[in-house]
Amino acid sequence: MKIAFFDTKEYDRQAFEPYDGKDGLHFHFYETKLNEDTADLAKGADAVCVFVNDDLNAAVIDRLCALGIGLIALRCAGYNNVDLSAARNRIRIVRVPAYSPYAVAEHAMAMLLCSIRRIHKAYIRTKDFNFSLTGLTGFDLHGKTVGVIGTGKIGRVFIDLCKGFGMKILAYDKYPARIDGVSYTDLDRLFRESDILSLHCPLTAETVHLIGKNSIAKMKKGVVIINTSRGALIDSEDLLAGIKDRRIGAACLDVYEEESDLFFEDFSGHIVNDDILARLITMPNVIVTSHQAFLTREALSAIAAVTVKNLLSYAKKEALENEVCSPDRPQDA
């Protein structure tokens, strides 16, 4: 079985190469992302393996089907980049529903702590032997209210971390779970009462621009917003306006609405044409990481192991445990 890997980085190769050539699996790694212009690279393969910013629109699905590709193996949990209606009954799709919820939740907490304690600023100052504390005053997490939108595996781990800091926890989820110490509520109350807001929900038609002008107007002045899920959960222009209006106190973004042509690549020697992202990055109360939250050794190992299991199940014509069948109830993004 031949598998064409798209959007492959060195850390992907290191995780997957131990499986190459074993159990009949043969990998072909491509650095380019999968899109309409690159789909023909999959010619001769039985399956493609893709990541979050590969574009599997209807035209790409059509081309993959014409090439005889029978399986799309997502090495991630979310599948908002796949046109499910175009793929249904034509090509099978599997994913990695959980790899390390700890990796993503811990990154969210790391960004929060970095932001509110001004660690990123202190690091730059002390590099220049500037040991002044002026402008570095933060605030305690203890006793603050955190609003968690999405209480799947990642959201629940983040909640556990917040409990350790002695925070009051409000939560919203379309499918509430029973979690000790957590008060489920509606979005209006969550926006109104939260000092910190963390997004851990998938990107669906219902959640696109969940954070926008209307919801920001309901939030506490000075709220800290964290997004380690999907960029389009936040309307970037409205976020920028909220920061400029001083309603949003800080933003910690591991994802961005228009990240697909930017994140995972080095543009340090180029002029970036995305004015919204450029302006966000210049804000002193904004921290941006480039979709890094998943990137731990444990997560990469788990992603590779589950993806290989998915591929072998398909090759052996076994039931696909992690098949994406319906968008009706997606899990963690």
Q: Map residue 264 onto helix, strand or coil.
A: coil
Question: What's the CA gap between 322 and 138, in Å, rounded?
Answer: 43
Per-residue tokens: 157: 């781990």
CA-wise closest residue to 154 among 90, 245, 74, 77? 77
- Residue 279 pLDDT exceeds 70: yes
Fold of 101-288: Rossmann fold (3.40.50)
Provide the pLDDT confidence category of residue 331 given band limits of 50, 70 and 90. Answer: very low
Per-residue tokens: 159: 């909640």
The mean per-residue pLDDT over the stretch 109-116 comes to 98
Cross-strand partners of 3: 27, 47
Dihedral-angle region of residue 209 (phi above 0 means left; psi in -120 to 50 means alpha; beta otherwise): left
Q: Report the mean per-residue pLDDT for the chain.
A: 95
The mean per-residue pLDDT over the stretch 13-25 comes to 96
The mean per-residue pLDDT over the stretch 228-257 comes to 97
Weakest-pLDDT range from 202-211, 287-296, 301-310, 324-333: 324-333
Active site residues: 230, 259, 291
In terms of pTM, does the model score above 0.95? no
CA atoms within 13 A on the CB side of 176: 11
CATH code given to domain 2-99+297-315: 3.40.50.720
CA-wise closest residue to 304 among 88, 29, 18, 2? 18
Provide the pLDDT confidence category of residue 261 given band limits of 50, 70 and 90. Answer: confident
Amino acid, single-letter form, for residue 181:
G
Between the CA of residue 189 and those of 145, 178, 192, 218, 321, what are the distances in Å? Answer: 12, 19, 5, 9, 38
Residue whose pair of structure tokens reads 């399956």 in the numeric block: 47
CA-wise closest residue to 283 among 241, 254, 229, 255? 241
> Do 101-288 and 2-99+297-315 have the same topology in CATH?
yes
Question: What's the CA gap between 87 and 191, in Å, rounded?
Answer: 37
Please state the domain extents for the chain. Answer: 2-99+297-315, 101-288
